[in-house]
Amino acid sequence: MEEYSEFMMGQFLPVALSTLQFERAAPCDLYRCVRDEQYVFFAKKGVLFDRAARDRVVAGDASQLYIREEERALYHTYLKETLVSIVNDPTVSSEKKAEAVHSSCLQTLQRTFEEPRAAFLVQACEILEPTVNLIVSDVEASRHLIRLTTYDHSTYVHSTNVGIFSIALARILFSGDNQHDMQALGAGFFLHDLGKCKIPIEILNKPGMLTDGEREIVQRHVLDGYQMVESSGLMTDEARTIILQHHERDDGRGYPNQKSAEEIHPYARICRLADIYEALTVDRPYHNSRSSFEALKFMKEHVVSGPDEELFAGFVKLFMV
Ligand SMILES: [Fe+2]
């Protein structure tokens, strides 16, 4: 077994390997975790992070490296600048762009849900900007992103998926109509479940059915998320409306305000469709996951009616290859 004489302690943050681009300088000193909360130095800031470096990490059975908490801002700047340059580089394929955007989005949303402070919300919105730009401007990259969506119970994975589906649908519905602020919508879609960070983990991950009291706590995420973004002053009315209304239903049995069909904003409808599709395609304690085709068929037969029908026709197009 490997022995290390230079253990480092302190506050370290994980960074996914997939967010470190080959042939770019490491944005800060990088560390490996060798035991619980014990880290060893791996690579110095400024050194080119290449395939060999990544292979050494993977050979150690890891998928992430670590940075010091105090260098978080440096890493964020690296993530943002790298992403913008990749998305704007005509020599980079749509597939590679989609991969870069996807891993940065997952990483950023995971961090945001762990620590939803206003400063980190700002950082999340900065990473979402090139993400939304890519989905809106590059149909091929948007298709790759939809293929990259994976399903598990994590709120940040769910949020990334719903964000991708929703913005891709908004592109189809609103293309050519510049009245819609896609960046503002993107923030609302990707952060629609932000309030879930306040739900106790044992309720969030409870394998069985929820009690009435637990359901009430879960449903609070809508108002909590709304209040969090309102107090941060970060988002537009449209984005806040998405967060507030994404669980309203046309029959008036939704929450938190039991809105009627006419009162539910189309943006919230987009988010709700994506949210329902995502829920149907993930394994839950009370149902097995459905394939994309089965989920769309179920939605067509049991969920979609009235004002949702036109939106749903666009939604189906996202999954046609
Ligand atoms: Fe939700």
Domain check: are 308 and 245 in the same one? yes
Percent above pLDDT 90 for the chain? 68
Going from the C-alpha of 106 to that of each of 7, 150, 163, 264, 285, the distances in angstroms are 29, 11, 11, 29, 24
Summarize pLDDT for 84-119 with one digit per residue, the tens. 999 999 999 999 999 999 999 998 999 899 988 888
16 sits in which H/E element: strand 12-16
Which residues are near ligand 1, the ion (C-beta closer than 5 Å)? 193
What is the CA(268)–ligand 1 centre distance, in A?
A: 11
Domain check: are 112 and 60 in the same one? no
**pTM score of the predicted model:** 0.90
What is the overall mean pLDDT for the chain? 90
The domain in which residue 18 lies consists of: 1-71
Report d(CA 173, CA 180) in Å as an integer.
Answer: 10
Summarize pLDDT for 268-293 with one digit per residue, the tens. 999 999 999 999 998 766 667 889 99
Instruction: Count the domains in the chain.
Output: 2
Domain check: are 149 and 287 in the same one? yes
What is the CA(130)–ligand 1 centre distance, in A?
A: 24
- Classify residue 149: in a domain, yes or no: yes
The CA-based diameter of the chain, rounded to the nearest angstrom, is: 67
- Nearest residue to 268 via CA among 301, 237, 293, 298: 237
Tokens matching residue 89: 């580089």
Tokens matching residue 41: 């130095």
- Classify residue 256 by burial, with Cβ atoms within 10 Å: 0-12, 13-18, 19+: middle
- Own/partner pairs for 144-150, CB < 8 Å, 24+ apart? 144/94, 144/95, 144/97, 144/98, 144/99, 145/98, 145/101, 145/102, 146/318, 146/319, 148/98, 148/99, 148/102
Summarize pLDDT for 253-273 with one digit per residue, the tens. 999 999 999 999 999 999 999
What is the CA(98)–ligand 1 centre distance, in A?
A: 25
Q: What's the rounded mean pLDDT across residues 204-231?
A: 93
What is the CA(267)–ligand 1 centre distance, in A?
A: 14
What is the CA(213)–ligand 1 centre distance, in A?
A: 17
What is the CA(219)–ligand 1 centre distance, in A?
A: 8
- Residue 35 and residue 1 in contact, taking contact as beta carbons nearer than 8 Å: no
Residues 62/32/106/278 CA torsion (nearest 10 deg): 40
What is the CA(146)–ligand 1 centre distance, in A?
A: 20
pLDDT score of 188 more than 90 = yes
Domain check: are 123 and 56 in the same one? no
CATH code for position 218: 1.10.3210.10
What is the CA(165)–ligand 1 centre distance, in A?
A: 15
- Classify residue 82: in a domain, yes or no: no
Report d(CA 148, CA 84) in Å as an integer.
Answer: 20
pLDDT score of 3 more than 60 = no
What is the CA(119)–ligand 1 centre distance, in A?
A: 23
- Classify residue 4: in a domain, yes or no: yes
- Nearest residue to 169 via CA among 29, 40, 296, 319: 319
What is the CA(220)–ligand 1 centre distance, in A?
A: 9
Q: What's the rounded mean pLDDT across residues 159-173?
A: 96
- Classify residue 211: in a domain, yes or no: yes
Domain check: are 170 and 273 in the same one? yes
Domain check: are 49 and 190 in the same one? no
Domain check: are 250 and 304 in the same one? yes
What is the CA(185)–ligand 1 centre distance, in A?
A: 16
Domain check: are 24 and 142 in the same one? no
What is the CA(199)–ligand 1 centre distance, in A?
A: 12
What is the CA(192)–ligand 1 centre distance, in A?
A: 6
At CA 229, angle to CA 226 and CA 233, rounded to 5? 130
What is the CA(251)–ligand 1 centre distance, in A?
A: 18
Q: Peptide bond before 256: cis, by omega within 30 degrees of 0?
A: yes
Domain check: are 29 and 103 in the same one? no
Summarize pLDDT for 111-126 with one digit per residue, the tens. 899 988 888 899 999 9
What is the CA(71)–ligand 1 centre distance, in A?
A: 32
What is the CA(221)–ligand 1 centre distance, in A?
A: 7
- Classify residue 78: in a domain, yes or no: no
What is the CA(162)–ligand 1 centre distance, in A?
A: 10
